[in-house]
Amino acid sequence: MALHIREDIQTAFARDPAARSVAEIFLAYPGLHAVWGHRMAHWLWTHNFKLVARVWSNFTRSATGVEIHPGAVIGRRFFIDHGMGVVIGETAIIGDDVLMYHDVTLGARGYKKGKRHPTIGNGVILGAGARVIGDVTVGAGAVVGANTLITRDVAERAVLDSSEFFVI
């Protein structure tokens, strides 16, 4: 766990030009606190402590403004900048080195059981207010601009913004 925390702090320095000190990042970055809380909730979820995982997840959401379902799978060096309003659904899968800004939703399109949330590839950037809805894949290295709605698969290394890629 300590190695992950160190790596997360290094990622914050690399991704946030406003980061000034280890103490500031450790104490005052709600996106990191949400990821750390999720790791605990996910461990509980995968070890069949589902209710405790949901309670812990709810506590983390209340403290950070970031809602990550304990069933979501998140890779290494995931950084949520600012964080407030982020929602990540139960069957979402997020790769390594993903940067997500505030108010992003990785949501479902219906009530079916099974995989119903997005898969986000390695190295993806999700701009503020982006909505990625349904069992879709955002390919590695793609950039999804602010306030873009995605309901279909996105190719690797694609660069999309709401003025050119608004799909229903």
Give me 16's structure tokens.
């946030």
- Answer yes or no: is 111 within a domain: yes
Give me 164's structure tokens.
């050119």
- Answer yes or no: is 148 within a domain: yes
CATH number, domain of 121, equals 2.160.10.10
Position 165 pLDDT exceeds 60: no
Count structural domains, the chain: 1
- Helices 2-15 & 30-46 angle (0-180, nearest 10): 140
Report the C-alpha dihedral over residues 104, 107, 109, 112, rounded to 10 degrees: 180
- Answer yes or no: is 167 within a domain: no
- Answer yes or no: is 165 within a domain: no
Q: Which of helix, strand or coil describes residue 166?
A: coil
Q: What angle do CA 64, 69, 72 make, to 5 degrees?
A: 120
Q: Side chain identity at 44, as an amino acid letter?
A: L
- Answer yes or no: is 56 within a domain: yes
Helix ranges restricted to H, 70-146 = none
What pLDDT, in 10s, does the model give residues 106-130?
A: 999 988 899 999 999 999 999 999 9
Range of the domain at 128: 2-160
- Answer yes or no: is 76 within a domain: yes
Q: How many CB atoms lie within 10 A of CB 83?
A: 22
Distance CA 96, CA 65 (A): 22
Position 168 pLDDT exceeds 60: no
What pLDDT, in 10s, does the model give residues 11-51?
A: 999 999 999 999 999 999 999 999 999 999 999 999 999 99
At 2 the pLDDT is: 75
Give this prediction's pTM.
0.94
Q: How many CB atoms lie within 10 A of CB 1?
A: 9
Q: Side chain identity at 153, as an amino acid letter?
A: D
Instruction: Band the pLDDT of 57: cuts 50, 70, 90.
Output: very high
Residues of the chain with pLDDT > 90, as a percent, come to 90
Mean pLDDT along residues 50-64 = 98
DSSP character at residue 60: H
Position 86 pLDDT exceeds 50: yes
Mean pLDDT along residues 130-146 = 97
- Answer yes or no: is 101 within a domain: yes
